[in-house]
């Protein structure tokens, strides 16, 4: 399925929601340290409800470790200055959907790494900074899953 990569997430509730998203869609969730919270944080647990045991969650000490574990063929970096709209891509199983920390998004040097296949944006009204991290991941994962016929889902 698809792999969600949160680069140094800061807010436990967003990651908790992403754990639930991963469990419900069959995606994997990968987190790159440092995290802005403890994995035992009550807000993370509350947001993820009882889905923690149903989700594939992996924590990596740094981005290089994440690349080694993921061995990604394609990585789509979601950023407000992306060149392509998320709907213009043809997603394939195994794609990595990468998102940056809530306060600043992906750093410029990360967005330009050779592992990044494309920088992708979600449409927004002008003058607004960003959409919530968990919501952004949900939009991207569901579009990728939709394009692949919601494989594995109960219809």
- Dump pLDDT digits (tens) for 36-88: 988 876 766 665 557 778 899 999 999 999 999 999 999 999 999 999 999 99
pLDDT tens sequence across 104-155: 999 999 999 999 999 999 999 998 888 999 999 999 999 999 999 999 998 7
Looking at the domain 3-147, which fold is it?
Alpha/beta knot (3.40.1280)
Return the pLDDT at 47: 58
Using a cut of 0.85, tell me whether the model's pTM lies above it: yes
Q: How far is CA 77 from CA 4, 83, 105, in A?
A: 10, 10, 10
């Amino acid at each position: 399925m698809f792999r969600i990569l949160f680069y140094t997430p800061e807010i436990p509730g967003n990651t908790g929601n992403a754990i639930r998203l991963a469990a419900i869609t069959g995606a994997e969730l990968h987190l790159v340290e440092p995290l802005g919270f403890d994995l035992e944080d009550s807000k993370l647990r509350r947001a993820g409800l009882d889905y923690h045991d149903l989700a594939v969650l992996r924590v990596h000490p740094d981005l290089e470790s994440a690349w080694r574990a993921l061995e990604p063929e394609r990585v789509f970096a979601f950023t407000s200055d992306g060149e392509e709209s998320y709907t213009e891509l043809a997603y394939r199983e195994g794609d990595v959907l990468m998102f940056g920390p809530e306060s600043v998004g992906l750093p410029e040097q990360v967005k330009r790494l050779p592992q990044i296949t494309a920088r992708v944006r979600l449409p927004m009204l002008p003058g607004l900074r960003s959409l919530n991290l968990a919501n952004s991941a949900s939009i991207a994962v569901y579009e990728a899953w939709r394009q692949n016929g919601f494989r594995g889902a109960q219809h």
